[in-house]
Amino acid sequence: MTSSEDRRISRARSAVPREAEGVSEEIRQATIDDAPALADLHVRCWQEAYAGQLPQPYLDGLTAEGRLGMWRSLLSDEWPADALVAVDGADLIAFVAVGQETDPASDPGSGIVYSIYARQRAWGTGVGRSLMDRGLRALRERGCYEASLWVLETNDRARRFYEVGGWIVDGSRIEDIGGESVRELRYRISL
């Protein structure tokens, strides 16, 4: 078997949800009452997903209070966005936020996945795929025919997740995150 065949098989296996002990999620629309828990979840997910990719002092300094205003705004009528959460018992374990692309240079039929994150214990369980599917459905219902998202170039796990889902790289940019210049890749998919 060639090296490329090994990679293809490995990617295909990673697309198959694995059962994780204790993860039994329900997906629902987020509400304004979820804002504090979403802010906390957002910070914890960044700290888990970006360890070793972003400066540790920056990750350690993230706080739920620092994200709370953004989540209150997103979950109010101020943003034209949809936010969905995966709940395991009483705990939020993952979320996706999607909406119309707001860049004036973008086509009006373009949507964007603002963010999708899951706690480490939910990785590989299918929770992320379920959330992404529901988020993309919400974009189609808004009249979008394509979507994009941005991901750190070094985030191999997320990039595999997107590529297995049919997303393709179509651009890049340099961003300053935590005082460090990092390359982000733009992925796009037809809806």
The class of domain 24-190 in CATH terms is: alpha beta
Q: Distance between terminal CA atoms of the chain?
A: 34
What are 79-95's pLDDT values in tens digits?
678 999 999 988 999 99
Pairing of strands 25-29, 168-177: unpaired
What are 107-163's pLDDT values in tens digits?
889 999 999 999 999 999 999 999 999 999 999 999 999 999 999 999 999 999 999
pLDDT at 175: 97
Domain boundaries defined on the chain: 24-190
User: What does DSSP assign to residue 16?
Assistant: S
pLDDT at 18: 36
Listed residue (48, 34, 39) closest to 76, CA to CA: 34
pTM, two decimal places: 0.84
